[in-house]
Amino acid sequence: MRDISNIAPSTPKKQKLHSTLITPTKQITSGLLSPASTPTKTSITDSNKGVARLFTAPSTPTKSTSKPSIYTQAKALFQRGSADYTSPLVSREVEALCLNRFLLDNITNHTSNSLYISGPPGTGKTAQINVSFKALSSGQNIKINGATAKVIQINCMTLNAPEHIFHEIYSQVVGTLSISYRKRKTFDDLVQLLNNKELELNSVVVVLDEMDCLITRDQQILFELFRIATPTSDTNTKLVLIGISNALDLTDKFLPRLKRNGLNPQALQFLPYTFEQIKAVIIGKLRSLIPDEDKENCADDIPIFHPSAIQLCCKKSASITGDLRKAFDMVYKSIEVVEENTKKKNKDISSLTWLDCPKVLIPHVAKICSSSFGQKSLSSLNLLQKAVLCCLFTHQGQDINVNTLYDFYIKQPDIEKLLGNLKKGEFLEIISALESTSVVTLGEKKLLKCNVFNVDIGNKIIRPNVPFDDVIKSIGDVGILKRIVGK
């Protein structure tokens, strides 16, 4: 049984919990970019801290001597917010290479530049940024070949108004939290600051996560930021700008506009995770539960899950969106089901190990899928709702908003003939009903905050939240629906 002291934050020991994950195909040559791949003194992962937190909960001091069960440890690996940024991300080797090279080149060459990272939710954009910075920087600063850069990460959702971004960057560069908002810093102030020789920084690396929240009607704010982050910019301290967004709107409309204005940010796309990639990530995480000394002898073993249950889990999540968050949720809930079942059999789960604990099997995953992925709710949908859903599936993999879906829907000749004319208001009601049963998801929370583009439901991005296979099953022999999805 694993000793809890291995994962208690106060007693970090040498371990290689994630050594099996470290398989980048290509490595950047600079030694500065390799610490994540050579975890010489690993440290506690965030997820382990999660376990430790559960273990050392102050409100239950009497339990402080008991160990977290193997199920608790496993769930902690897949809990939202428990991420390990000390190891390279599985299946993101190429993206890591591009990002690290961009950072390295611009910091060492002392150039301003910009990079636009796009991709659907849960594809590792933010996680990869965190992993790269963890490898490059100590604290907030990066030092490479004598060049000094300060790293500033801003989640644009947290700003009350897009124009506050200049003040936010300014105050983080000077490191003074007490700058009065009455004298809010402007774009000109920021440029002046970057030209101030006393700053003694070669570069400032600014990451704008959820960058779509900075969109204004004329896109002026993003234009100004990208303008000072061009290689020809002559500010004394260089601005290395990384914008992250999952709104395709931005890629379609904003990037071409930047280009028309002579601004050419580099672009890096994160594609949805495939079935194989999701599987590799999940297996890597589960195998971190095997004590180091046993790993070699158990090269093919997977704790907690039966291999076929993992297959099902990954197939389901890959077929929906390739969003790793959804896959992690499914794994977490499946473990919870087995944990509860085991407890009901009066087993002392604290004494179980990864070798002898009851495992997650296909029926456990199926149970979770049917409840969280709406199989039940699919059978209760009416014909109109199913028709809308089928139209949505013809756009799979694209980010479309509700208005575009409506335009597509009313142009289907078959639908109009057989199901009648659907007014926009009625269509929106159907969308709301589909959302309330979790059959579709609407928009991103961040899009809701953007005051210009996403004020109403029609502008929200709509995505299916059920597997295509289940939809096909639910439409049965209804010809009109089969024709929409091309079956």
Binding site for Mg ion (CB under 5 A): 126
**Quick one: what does residue 83 bind among Mg ion, ligand ATP, none, with the CB cut-off 5 to 8 Å set by partner type?**
ligand ATP
- Confirm or reject binding of residue 460 to ligand ATP (CB under 6 A): no
Binding partner at 246 among ligand ATP, Mg ion, none, C-beta below 5 to 8 Å by kind: ligand ATP
Binding-site string for ligand ATP from residue 107 to residue 146, where x marks contact by CB under 6 A and - marks none? ------------x-xxxxxxx-------------------
303 binds ligand ATP (CB under 6 A): no
50 binds, among Mg ion, ligand ATP, none (CB under 5 to 8 A by kind): none
Task: Identify what 326 binds: ligand ATP, Mg ion, none; CB under 5 to 8 Å per kind.
Answer: none
Contact call for residue 246 and ligand ATP (CB under 6 A): yes
Q: By C-alpha distance, which of 121, 381, 149, 346 is closest to 242?
A: 149
Q: Which residue is nearest to ligand ATP (CB)?
A: 124
**Residue 360 vs residues 119, 275, 354, 357: alpha-carbon distances, Å:** 31, 19, 12, 10
Contact 171, 177 (CB under 8 A): yes
Which two three-digit tokens encode residue 115?
Answer: 């990079």
Q: Calculate helix-pair angle for 402-410, 383-393, nearest 10 degrees.
A: 110
Of 112 and 126, nearer to Mg ion (C-beta) is: 126
Fill in the amino acid letter for 256. Answer: P
Residues numbered 251 to 270 that lie near ligand ATP (CB under 6 A) are 270
Nearer to ligand ATP, 91 or 441 (CB): 91
Examine residue 281 and tell whether it contacts ligand ATP (CB under 6 A). Answer: yes
Helix (H/G/I), strand (E/B), else coil: 420: coil
CB-nearer residue toward Mg ion: 41 or 445:
445
Helix or strand (DSSP H, E) at 464:
strand 461-464
Backbone dihedral angles phi then psi of residue 474, each to the nearest 5 degrees: -75, -20
- Give the Å distances, CA to CA, from 121 to 212, 364, 441: 13, 26, 12
126 versus 317: smaller Cβ distance to Mg ion:
126
Q: Which class for 261: exposed (0-12), middle (13-18), buried (19 or more C-beta within 10 A)? A: exposed
The Cα angle at residue 176 between residues 175 and 182, in degrees rounded to 5? 135
User: In the complex, what is the shortest distance from the CB of residue 80 to ligand ATP, in angstroms, rounded to a whole number?
Assistant: 7
Site for ligand ATP (CB under 6 A): which residue of 324, 335, 387, 388?
324
Pick what 134 binds: Mg ion, ligand ATP, none; C-beta below 5 to 8 Å, kind-dependent.
none
**Rounded CA gap, 164 and 156, in Å?**
10
Minimum CB distance to ligand ATP smaller for 45 or for 375: 45
Neighbours of 319 (CB within 10 A): 17
Residue 281, binding choice from ligand ATP, Mg ion, none, Cβ under 5 to 8 Å by partner class = ligand ATP
CA distances from 23 to 95, 96, 102, 127, 288 (A): 14, 12, 21, 17, 15
When CB distances are held under 5 to 8 angstroms depending on the partner's kind, the choice from ligand ATP, Mg ion, none that residue 90 binds is ligand ATP
Residues in contact with ligand ATP, counted by CB under 6 A, come to a total of 18
Shortest distance in whole angstroms from residue 335 CB to ligand ATP: 16
Residue 325 CB, nearest approach to Mg ion (Å): 10
In the bound state with Mg ion, the residue whose beta carbon lies nearer, of 126 and 321, is: 126
> Smallest Cα–Cα separation from 70: which of 259, 296, 251, 305?
305
What is the strand order of the sheet 203-209 is part of?
A: 137-138, 141-144, 147-155, 203-209, 238-245, 113-118, 266-269
* Residue 287 contact, options ligand ATP, Mg ion, none, Cβ 5-8 Å cut-off depending on partner type: none
By beta-carbon distance, which residue lies closest to Mg ion? Answer: 126
With H, G, I as helix, E, B as strand and everything else as coil, classify residue 203: strand
* Residue 265 interacts with, from Mg ion, ligand ATP, none (CB under 5-8 Å by kind): none
Comparing CB distances to ligand ATP, the nearer of 49 and 63 is 49
For residue 479, the minimal CB distance to ligand ATP (Å) is 38
As a whole number of angstroms, the distance between CA 484 and CA 206 comes to 45
Contacting positions for ligand ATP (CB under 6 A): 83, 89-92, 119, 121-127, 246, 270, 281, 324-325
